[in-house]
């Protein structure tokens, strides 16, 4: 791994009545803290669950300095995703299974000032998207079926993060390899060894007594495991 690992707590496991406080709880005033804040947007169509949308994200954006990482689990991202970029979201991720024109969409997201992310579900192969990913800044590999927090990690997806890592290391792709689902103290090391740069963690952070300490613990595990890999 060339860069320091990024830790992205997922607000899905936070208290939705206190989102500003929950963001501040991982802010790390004394340095450290969350690198990105992961916000799961679900529409009850692409996934069975329903969470929040653009008006809430606009408010979150005003209430934190931590870069937002919006994971859009929605149908028709070609229509909706750019609004999140225009709201100032740092990284806007859409699902490969839902996007009609992923290359054009990445260009539009970047033109609106955001980084563009492409996500693939656990059973979606990486290879068909190799060329498309040249237009993206982030690849989000799902390690659970999208829709809910607190699910069990699917280790088989690490084959995809390994292949993506190789493509980055050999210069064929230039992106952050991100993983989402079931990341905790038991699983983060194997993900770091498999070349992941950015780790989303919901229940492992917001289910902990001290979310900021949980972020730091995950970060040191990821750093140590990544060193062991080199």
Active-site residues: which are they? 40, 180
**Residue 77 touches which of Zn ion, ligand DX5, none (CB < 5 to 8 A by kind)?**
none
The stretch near ligand DX5 (CB under 6 A) out of 18-26, 55-63, 161-169, 181-189 is 181-189
Q: Does 69 bind Zn ion (CB under 5 A)?
A: no
- In our burial notation (b when 16+ CB lie closer than 10 A, e otherwise), range 46-61 reads bbeeebbbeeebbebb
**Burial (Cβ within 10 Å: 0-12, 13-18, ≥19) of residue 203:** middle
**Around Cβ 16, how many Cβ atoms within 10 Å?**
11
Residues 7-66 that bind Zn ion (CB under 5 A): 40
User: Radius of gyration of the chain from Cα atoms?
Assistant: 16
Residue 211 contacts which entry, ligand DX5, Zn ion, none (Cβ below 5-8 A, type-dependent): none
Among 201, 208, 214, 226, binds ligand DX5 (CB under 6 A): 201
State yes or no: residue 91 binds ligand DX5 (CB under 6 A): no
> Assign residue 89 a region: left if phi > 0, alpha if psi is -120 to 50, beta otherwise?
beta
Shortest separation between residue 180's beta carbon and Zn ion, angstroms: 4
Among 25, 85, 200, 208, binds ligand DX5 (CB under 6 A): 200
Q: Which stretch binds ligand DX5 (CB under 6 A): 89-97, 130-138, 175-183, 188-196?
A: 175-183
Closer CB to Zn ion, residue 10 or residue 221?
A: 10
**What's the half-sphere exposure (Cβ side, CA atoms, 13 Å) at 22?**
21
Phi-psi region of 182 (alpha: psi -120 to 50; beta: other; left: phi over 0): left
Considering only 27-35, 79-87, 179-187, 190-198, which stretch makes contact with Zn ion by CB under 5 A?
179-187
Which residue's CB is nearer to ligand DX5, number 152 or number 166? 152
Residues between 1 and 40 with contacts to ligand DX5, criterion CB under 6 A? 10, 12-13, 38, 40
Applying CB under 6 A, what is the total number of residues that bind ligand DX5?
Answer: 22
Q: Which two tokens stand for residue 154?
A: 């699917």
Does the protein bind Zn ion through residue 180 (CB under 5 A)?
yes
Quick one: which of 67, 77, 117, 149 contacts ligand DX5 (CB under 6 A)?
Answer: 149
């Amino acid at each position: 791994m060339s860069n320091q690992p990024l830790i992205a707590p997922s607000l899905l496991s936070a208290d939705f009545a206190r989102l500003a406080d929950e963001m501040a709880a991982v802010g790390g005033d004394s340095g450290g803290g969350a690198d990105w804040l992961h916000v799961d947007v679900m529409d009850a169509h692409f996934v069975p669950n329903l969470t929040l949308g653009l008006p809430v994200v606009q408010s979150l954006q005003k209430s934190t300095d931590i870069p937002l990482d919006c994971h859009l689990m929605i149908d028709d991202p070609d229509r909706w995703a750019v609004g999140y970029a225009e709201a100032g979201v740092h990284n806007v991720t859409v699902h490969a299974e839902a996007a009609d024109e992923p290359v054009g969409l990445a260009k539009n997201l970047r033109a609106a000032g955001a980084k563009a992310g492409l996500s693939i579900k656990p059973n979606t192969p990486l290879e068909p998207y190799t060329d498309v990913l040249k237009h993206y800044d982030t690849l989000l590999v799902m390690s659970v079926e999208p829709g809910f927090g607190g699910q069990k990690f699917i280790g088989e997806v690490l084959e995809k993060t390994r292949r993506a890592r190789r493509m980055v290391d050999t210069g064929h792709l230039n992106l952050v390899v991100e993983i989402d689902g079931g990341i905790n103290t038991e699983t983060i090391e194997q993900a770091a060894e498999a070349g992941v740069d950015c780790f989303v963690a919901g229940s492992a952070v917001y289910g902990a007594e001290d979310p900021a300490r949980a972020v730091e613990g995950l970060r040191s595990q990821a750093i140590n495991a990544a060193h062991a890999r080199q």
